[in-house]
């Protein structure tokens, strides 16, 4: 059964709603999103709903493979992205790039 809900830190909300952040990078526990499914999005801090996303793809990636392209899709520099991911998922090498489209 695929996941139907996802949470983001509040600090990412504006970038998601403006279309500047079009991917999220998650660990094994949060990879089971089905392409073409619609997921409801809320804040991690308060579980406040703020939009729905349509999942486009889920692709495995190693931390060491994160690139400027991923950073651009996250609206960050590559060093910023690597710092963010290391803070959220310390010492995790196997990650997943979840690409999505804002639908409302
Ligand atoms: C709540 C949470 O884990 N949020 C994350 C994690 C990784 N990337 C992202 O955009 N948001």
The string of pLDDT tens digits covering residues 50-72 is 999 999 999 999 999 999 999 99
Which residues carry out catalysis? Answer: 21, 24, 74
Pocket test residue of 3, 6, 12 for ligand 1, highest count of atoms within 8 A of CB: 12
Q: 72: which residues sit within 8 A by CB, 6+ positions away?
A: none
Q: Ligand 1: does its nearest atom lie under 6 Å from the Cβ of 9?
A: yes
Whose C-alpha lies nearest to ligand 1, atom 3? 8
Q: Please give the pLDDT value at position 81.
A: 98
Write b or e for each residue in 19-52: b if 16 or more Cβ atoms lie within 10 A of its Cβ, otherwise e. Answer: eebbbbbbeeebbebeeeeebebbbeeeeeeebe
Give me the residues of the chain with pLDDT under 50, please: none
Contact between residue 4 and residue 40 where contact means Cβ atoms under 8 Å apart? yes
| CA atoms of 76 and 30, how far apart (whole Å) | 21
For this complex, say whether ipTM is above 0.95. Answer: no
State pTM to two decimals: 0.97
């Amino acid at each position: 059964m695929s996941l139907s809900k996802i949470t983001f830190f509040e600090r990412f909300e504006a970038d998601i709603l403006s279309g500047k952040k079009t991917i999220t990078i998650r660990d094994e526990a949060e990879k089971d999103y089905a392409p073409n499914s619609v997921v409801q999005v809320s804040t991690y801090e308060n579980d406040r709903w703020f939009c729905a996303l349509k999942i486009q793809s889920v692709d495995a990636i190693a931390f060491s493979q994160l690139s400027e392209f991923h950073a651009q899709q996250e609206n960050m520099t590559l060093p910023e992205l690597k710092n963010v991911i290391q803070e959220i998922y310390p010492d995790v090498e196997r990650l997943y790039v979840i690409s999505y489209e804002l639908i409302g």
